[in-house]
Amino acid sequence: MNRITERFARLRQLGRKGLVIYIGAGDPHLEATRQLALAFDRAGVDVLELGVPFSDPLADGLVNQLAAQRGLESGTTPAKVLATVAAIRRESAIPIVLYLYFNLVHRHGVEAFIRDAAAAGVDGLLVLDLPPEESANYDALMRAAGLCAIYLVAPTTPEDRIAAIVRHGSGFIYYVSREGVTGMQTKLSDTIAAMTTKIRAHTDLPVAVGFGISNAEQARAVAQHAEAIVVGSAVVNRIAESGRSPDLVAKVSDFVGELAAAVKTAGV
């Protein structure tokens, strides 16, 4: 069974919510990415999203754009990200999703990229700018490789399109709780409860809510309405603040541990 599917099945059995953490691969360097992944596993993270650095990350706000830039500056490439995943796999079974733009997949070759990702130990791909209408061959290749194809639903997505999107998805559905790009927010969206209910009317897949969740209190609140919450920019911002300091991993994983505790105690 795919590690993402297995993890959500276990969470459901335990009556607990999941925590998905996003970081930019190669920020500040790939060895830090490997160490953070292992620390997050110990801290209670259920799924790790690794952003593959790209020069034009249109879905990302400033914090994650700068992380992508730092990743590129550290020499991070898709091939090196896959090598880092393989290194993580030697010590951890944490489910891993690559968050990336289709240009990178296309350049590598769609079939080759999916094959190489599966071989490295990746469990799913979230291709930000690949619409379901253009994903037939991609979806078939993903299923054949045993990988989850993660798709996004937004607050502005009409109900008939929600139904169409979730038919293509596997692993979980990522509900983007705010219009616009990624980034930390001081106030949660007021559409979360209604939209997660609407999504569940069309799929049995777990719903993970992200975009704008910045602290443990917000994580606990959102977890009441979803099977998992996604935190990215708030974690990436702490990586940026720590830079290459020796206590980077300890500081960031302490914060992530607070998020995990909040989510795990949110209940069903």
- Are residues 218 and 188 in contact, defined by beta-carbon separation less than 8 angstroms? yes
The candidate with the shortest Cα–Cα distance to 206, out of 50, 97, 86, 57, is: 97
27 counts as catalytic: no
One of 27, 41, 46, 60 is an active-site residue; which one? 60
Among residues 27, 41, 49, 227, the one annotated as catalytic is: 49
Q: How many residues does the chain have?
A: 268
What Cα–Cα distance (Å) separates residue 152 from each residue in 189, 222, 223?
16, 17, 18
Beta strands in the chain (DSSP E): 18-24, 47-51, 96-100, 124-127, 148-149, 151-153, 173-176, 207-210, 228-231
- Is residue 49 part of the annotated active site? The answer reads yes
Tokens for 197, please give them. Answer: 């209910």
Q: Are 251 and 43 in contact (CB under 8 A)?
A: no
- Identify any residues that bridge with 231 across adjacent strands, giving them in sequence order: 21
Annotated catalytic residues are: 49, 60
